[in-house]
A and B are shown apart, each in its own frame.
Chain A
């Protein structure tokens, strides 16, 4: 079982929709989490960090639920340009090594 699990999707949504992804993690000692965006097998780029209190950046909201050990990413008012793979990152076994989920594919259609 991977330490960080994601539903691979694809999530196929119309423009303007709200879509949410969850990512579960097994290492209860994990402190830091991130969401990365990856386009067409290009390098991943940081989308946002995930803070315990939750954080928002424009149309994007990230939340952490420590009790249930998952993080979430909410995208409001989806744009065609949001089509990409979204990777969540946690930590491996208390060693602070960045560990990636398999990624969730989002397709936004007109």
Chain B
């Protein structure tokens, strides 16, 4: 059982380049999330999707876009990468959003923007 699969694991970009982080879950979860983690800052929510077809901004959405392609997949796009977006990115999913359910995480993407 794969759980939450996140790709790539590592990426180096130049300022201004674009890229998409992919996330897929096979647990039939309704809700999916993208977090970023910076030293001393904990995990901060970028965007979330409560259910297929819906997306909402989190705490730090600027510079990112998301797509909930179907129930399984939730991608995060950086249109024009900036050094401030250097971070570790985690995708997560949970059964539903009507209560604060436990999260299942992907293994993370280490992104460096030069």
B35: chain A residues within 8 A (beta carbon):
100
Q: Size of chain B's interface in residues, with CB distance under 8 A?
A: 27
A-B contacts at CB below 8 angstroms, number: 64
Q: Is the Cβ of B94 less than 8 Å from the Cβ of A41?
A: no
Residue B107 lies at the interface, judged by CB distance under 8 Å to chain A: yes
Residue A45 lies at the interface, judged by CB distance under 8 Å to chain B: yes
Q: Is the Cβ of B58 less than 8 Å from the Cβ of A97?
A: yes
Q: Chain A 73-104 against B: per-residue CB contact (8 Å), 1 yes, 0 no? A: 00000000000000101111000111111110
Q: Is the Cβ of B42 less than 8 Å from the Cβ of A41?
A: no
CB within 8 Å for A91 and B100 given contacts A41-B37, A42-B108, A98-B33: yes
Q: Is the Cβ of B43 less than 8 Å from the Cβ of A49?
A: no
A31: chain B residues within 8 A (beta carbon):
99-100
- Assuming A90-B100, A97-B97, what are 14 further A-B pairs, CB within 8 angstroms? A30-B100, A41-B108, A43-B105, A43-B108, A44-B43, A89-B100, A96-B100, A97-B45, A98-B33, A98-B100, A100-B42, A102-B41, A102-B42, A103-B42
